[in-house]
Structures are given as C-alpha cells and as structure tokens.
Chain A
C-alpha cells in the first residue's frame, strides 16, 4: 500500500527539552508530485524537515519517535550525508553559495571531478587536477535542465540577482546524481513576483522529470497554483492531507489557524476604558523602516489612547520592523506622531523621551545587558533618559544604589522574577525571568505607550500567562496604551482590542479579535477574500 509513496514519514514525534514540538505527524509524498507543507510559524515544519535530513540538532536533543519509509522500506537517516545518499536534496532559504566562486564551482562544490596527476598519485586524490571541461559541461546541463539557458556557467555568483542565485542553488541539487526528492524551503519569500512565477514553472518542470518536491511556503496562492497535494500542520499536530483539487483557499486558511479554546488571559477585569477615535496615542503615516528581513514599506495606522493594539502577521512581513524603527535601531522614513507630536526618529532616544518604552523581541541581543545585574538592567534606561536613581555629588551624577536596589526589589516582587537577589547577573536567569526583567525595565520608564515585541517568545506557559496578564493590568489600571507585536495569533486575539495584520511591510487589514479563523488565515496569507471567491 505504501509502495505508491516515495517518502512516508509516519507518526513522527519530537521533543525539545520537554517541549513537544511534533505530535504524531504524517507526511506522504509520491514520486513526481509537488507536495505543499503549510502551517503557521512554529507549527513544526522546520523540525520535520530537520528530521528528514538527519540534522545533528535532532540527535543531540534525544532523537525522535516514528518511522521514515523511502519507497516503502523503513529507513534510518542518521546524518545529512545519508539523506543525500538517498537522493534527498534541499534548496535553502538563505543561499548556501560562495559569492566569490563562479556558477560551475558552486554547483560542483564538494563533488568536483578530478583527474589523477603525479602529485595526487603520491599524496592522494585531494591533489587531483580539476577536470574543468567535464565540470562546466555538467553544470551547463543542470542549468539547461531547469530552463536557465541565460545563466552563464562561468559567472561569479557575487552580484547576481537574487532570483538567479536561487536557480543556481536548484541547479546544484539537480546536478546531484540520483536526486529523488527536493525540499524547497520558502523559496519565493525573497523573490520578486516575476522571479517567483519563473520558479514555480521550474518546479513543475522538475516534477515532470519524476522528482518529487516538498514545497514549504506561506503563500497559499502559490500552493493552489502549483501543488498537487498538501499536508497541513498546526502546533506540531497533523491536521490534514488533501489533494489540491479537493480543497479551497478558505478551507486551508481555516485548517491552518484552527480553533484554540484555551484562555490565555483571565477576562474578569472589568471594562472601564473609554476608547475614542478622537484621542490618538500613536500614529504612523507612510512609515518605512529599513530593517533587513523585516522591512516596513509604507504603513499607516492610528492607535487610540488606552487601547491594546496588536500587530500580527507572518515572520519576515515587517511587523517586527515597526517597533525597531521607533526605538532608533534602524533607519526610518515617513512620519510618526505620539499624542499629536511628530517624533524625530533620527535623534537617539526620541521615543523614550516622549514616554514610549519598548520590550525587544531579541531579548539576549537587544533587550538585556547579560553580564550585568538585574538592578543595572532594570534601572538603566530610566537613569539615562529620566535621570532617576542618581544623586548629585558636585558636578557628577552618581548612582543612588540604595534607591536602585529598592526599586529592583519591588519589581522582582511585582513580576515574580525568580532570582537570588537584585545583584544576580541576568545572563544566568531563565528565559521567562529574563523577559520579566525586560518588561520591568520598560515599566520603570513609566511609559504612556508601551510597545512589546514577541513578549512570550521562548518562555514557559506560567511566565507567559503572568506577562500577558500584567500587560492587561497596566493597560486598565494606568491607562497605558499597549502595542503588542506577536507571531502568536491566539495571544493577540485574547488580549487586543484591534489587530492589524501586516503583510509585505504594509497593513493588510485591521481586524477585530472575534473575526473568523478563515478571515485571519486568509489575511495572514495575504489573500483578499473577494479575490479568492
């Protein structure tokens, strides 16, 4: 029965440090078929592919459960090398090409064809002379076979258009003898529309030669256009396997998002706020942020005073860039107004001086001084911007240690930071407690607007609940306007008053948290409902 499938992965489960990321997932791929693998960020797609490729990270964290069948035979893939021998190849999202090498060298890297010479006879075949004629010939053949007649095999990779690099990468995989299965990991994410169409054509061409393709993407329209069948994952669980002709776009979207019933936040806090379109806390007009990988391209939003406003969307679409631009970490264009006053974001600390505080999504890279104490971390910004925790001695402003320690102790108690004391280095705290320190630093600024970026990333469920409930509490008790940026739609929907879904650097739509799963799923995928109907 299984013989019709080239690859079957049955009942795959995987645990990372007690966190179950895959729960009995199945995937089946027929020869010569394009099989789409879809799911939200964190649904388990990458882990599944890591298992398929026998990546060391899987085995160093205790292996996985379940079985892999290739052509119906149970197989154990213990290393990427073995995966390669089975004819499984991957086209990477970040190109694994050496810029200073030419196309042939890149295609043939690691599989060079050599001719014996006197030296190599003595010292082994590592000193073989390269057979360039044969190598360029084979590289040419690989390029031709994916219809890339116009890429010259002797061009240097550096300076090529991104699309071409992608094609060279594909050619390299095709060139491997006995390739049977190719994995494309979000190949169109970095391409222009024209290039993306071209890529889809090439995928069809490759599939027509009998090579199976696993196509990982967030763009559901592409799935509909090119795939033959698909597997949907959600939160590490297998949801469905469908033939494309049996399914519609809204169906896919609904299956991806799914119903999630568990309440993240206690709803018992009474509604006492008075939101009005007249009172705007934060406004963006044609806002651009030049953050690599998270570009914002012309965003317009009005966030009301006292509101909890969510920014959602898939990774790489620009929601993260919004906050980093305001905090001055990346160059911005366009206008940002806080309480009607235009912010000059070229001036460092402009946002902080206008009562906007920020909790970064990159805790260890941006959010913390890992080698310093909890006290130093919590008091740093308030000290530098508001001259708090300082006492004057002559012309110098010296740290008021007693006040700083006292404040830190209050914060430790308030946010339940598990530590040995105010002087413990934050680098030795757990992720959740580090996140609380980041939050404490922002609150110490007593902001009127608090921007939190991925506040629950990588922290345990207990800390998650505490952080979210605290955000809700300061919003209600102190009237702090909160902008919450998160990849977790559940989180946004349980906390926010309105949610803007960001797609390709722009606001795709502003939605109410109780809108349907289908609507959210389609918005995340960047599909207009009327277009799909």
Chain B
C-alpha cells in the first residue's frame, strides 16, 4: 500500500490520467484490429523523433529562462545547416564520389553547421532574455514566431542548385518539403534505407523483428544525448547553472555570474534544438521548411510539462516520460479516431483538437514559479 502511494506521489495525478488514457487508446486500437507491432514501432519512432527537441527544454528551464518557446531559433539553425550541407553534398557530387559514406558526411556537416549557428544565435538570444527578466516566456514565444517568419524570407530567397531542395523550374526559393531519401533520411532509423544504402556491418542500426521495427541507431544517439545532458547537470558548470535558475541571489552570493549562466543555458538549449530538428528530419525522411516548425516549440513544452517538469525544474526522466505520453497518444489516437469516425476531414480536425488539447492541459498543470 505504501509503495503504491509512493508511486502515485512520484507520478502525480496528471501523469496518471494521461498514462491511463494512453493505455486505453492502445487497448482500443488493438481491439479495433490494428497490429500491435506496427503501433508500438510507430510510438517508439515518434518518441525518439521528438525526444531531442524536448530534451532541449531542460537547459532552458534549469538555467532559469523557463520554458523555451523560442526553440524554433535552434530549429531554424538546424534546418539551415541541413540545407547547406545538402547543397554542398550536391555540388561536390558526394553520392558518386563517396558512395555509402556520403549521407553520413552530409549528416555530420548538417550537425556541425547547425550547432555553430545555433550556438551564436542562442548566445544572442540569451542576451535578449537577460534584458526581459520576468517575462522570458512571453518574449521567447514571440522570438519563436518571428524567427519562423524571418526564415520564410530566407527560404524564399535561397538560390540552390540541388533539385531536391529548390522549387522546380525556378531559379530561387526552396521547397516546402524536401525529401531526404537521397541524403541522410532514415540513416539511423529506417531498416529499408539502412539495408539499401549501407554496408552489411552497419545493418544493426535499424532492423525488423517480425513486424516490429527497432531503430537501434537512433536509440543510441538519443540515449547518448540524454546521458550527456544528465552528466552536464552534474558538472561544476551545470550545477552553477541550476543554481542560477533556482535562486539568483543565492548564486550571486556564491560568486557566480547569473546572467552568464543564463546565456550559456539558452545557448545549449538552442543547440539541442538544432540537433533535435536534424534528428527529427532524419527520422521523418523529410526536411520541413517554412511554417512547419511554427508550433514545434509548443509541442516540446507540452511534452516536458506532461512529463512532470515545472517552469523551474526539469529532469531527463520528465523528457522521457513526457515525450512518450504526448507522442504516444497522438500516434494511437489517430487510427482509432479514423476508424470510429469516417467523415471527410474530421479525423484531421480531431487530431488538431487532441494535440492542442494536450498542450492546453499541460500548460494548465504548470506550477507557477515565483520569479
């Protein structure tokens, strides 16, 4: 009885409700005749796909800037890094020259570009957030929106030669959605791609067990990222950063420059956003430009809140639980709704209602921090 109470205390009511709802959806979908293996594969794929973007929330929250709605800044850096890497890969004709290594090099180059740009932008963003202490979340929301609008102009004006990226029959502007199938799409998570393009000794990256797909490569990468973030918050710098987020006066009186820690936290959050979107695109198989990342910040925020984080404290476990619940419900709810209601676009409408409903619910569970 006591252990049951402990479990309940640790989990909290919101997670219990959402968890039960998730299980209910799982059971219903299996009862409706969907293949459990396919559903589980999908849940795991989406979990890993969004995981890093949610992980990007942790340094922001810990360093005291709150929920980083402006993660779109990092997302934009990651996208820009990806298109640049793809364009270079195309101009140098890597797929012919390097063969199986070409997508790897493109992926690394995309990460490199993305991380550098995100680090610079994140630092500037951190400087901005230090000037608006107390209303970081409002400002970061607008930063998130504005950067997407600005990037729309950038996407429209880039004149790339790579046909996968640029609008056909036009000298300028990039596509809405660019396929990554010829590039690093599915490299870590799609068994078909891995088997078609990679040598046999790399086939463990993603494989099938019956109908169930195990994206081992992606699990490894996401796991490592989580481990590094966990380790970082046990380091001297990470502990100073958590202190700055929890109590500015305490940290100042311990001889630490709080503003600097906040900038560093914001920069790390932005960098993780860039890495996150590249892993996302890798798993999804497409680069989504223009307005597609507009609401990703909200989804990330909702996920970590559902996972049990507050505006001031977040842990890796919150990331893992929250993303699983949020994405799990989206994945399972859709086929169930499709099955139950078969009228035109209604399932799509319901999908939007469900996803925004979860976000609203998560935000309503936010424990107000006293800044």
Contact = CB atoms under 8 A, between A and B. Distances in A.
Interface of A: 327-329, 348-353, 358, 360, 362, 365-372, 376, 380-381, 383-385, 387, 390, 396-399, 401
List the 5 closest A-B pairs by CB distance, nearest first.
Answer: A349-B255, A397-B236, A366-B249, A399-B234, A381-B254
A421 B66 CA distance: 29
A390 B239 CA distance: 11
B312 interface: yes
A348 B256 contact: yes
B298 to A, nearest CB: 26
B250 interface: yes
A327 B236 contact: no
A371 B314 CA distance: 12
Contact of B257 (A348, A372, A398): A348
The dominant DSSP class at the A interface is mixed
A519 B154 CA distance: 77
Contact of A366 (B234, B236, B242, B253): B253
Contact of B239 (A327, A351, A399): A399
Nearest to B234: A399
B247 interface: yes
How many residues of B sit at the interface, in one of the four size bands?
20 to 34
A358 B247 contact: no
A398 B231 contact: yes
A349 B239 contact: no
30 contacts: A327-B253, A328-B252, A329-B249, A329-B252, A348-B257, A349-B254, A352-B254, A360-B253, A365-B247, A366-B250, A367-B250, A368-B250, A369-B243, A371-B313, A372-B243, A380-B243, A380-B250, A383-B236, A383-B239, A384-B239, A384-B243, A385-B254, A385-B255, A396-B232, A396-B235, A397-B236, A397-B237, A399-B234, A399-B239, A401-B234
Contacts of A328: 252-253, 255
A429 to B, nearest CB: 15
Interface in B243-278: 243, 246-247, 249-250, 252-257
A353 B246 contact: no
B240 interface: yes
Interface in B265-314: 312-313
A353 to B, nearest CB: 7
B255 A350 contact: yes
Contacts of B237: 397
Contacts of A401: 234
Nearest to A324: B253
Contacts of B239: 376, 380, 383-384, 399
A365 B252 CA distance: 12
Contact of B246 (A365, A372, A399): A372
Contacts of B312: 371
Contacts of A367: 250
Contacts of A350: 255
A301 B240 CA distance: 34
Given A329-B249, A366-B249, A371-B312, A399 B256 contact: no
Given A380-B239, A397-B236, 15 more contacts: A328-B255, A348-B257, A352-B254, A352-B255, A366-B250, A368-B247, A368-B250, A369-B250, A370-B247, A380-B250, A384-B254, A396-B231, A396-B235, A398-B235, A399-B235
Contacts of B250: 366-369, 380
A360 B251 CA distance: 12
Contacts of A362: 249
A348 B246 contact: no
A384 B239 CA distance: 9
A400 B254 CA distance: 19
Nearest to A376: B239
A33 B249 CA distance: 46
B236 A390 contact: yes
Contacts of B247: 365-366, 368-370
Contacts of B243: 369, 372, 380, 384
A349 B240 CA distance: 13
A67 to B, nearest CB: 40
Nearest to A360: B253
A384 B240 contact: yes
Which of B239, B240, B249, B254 is packed against the most chain A CB atoms within 10 Å? B254
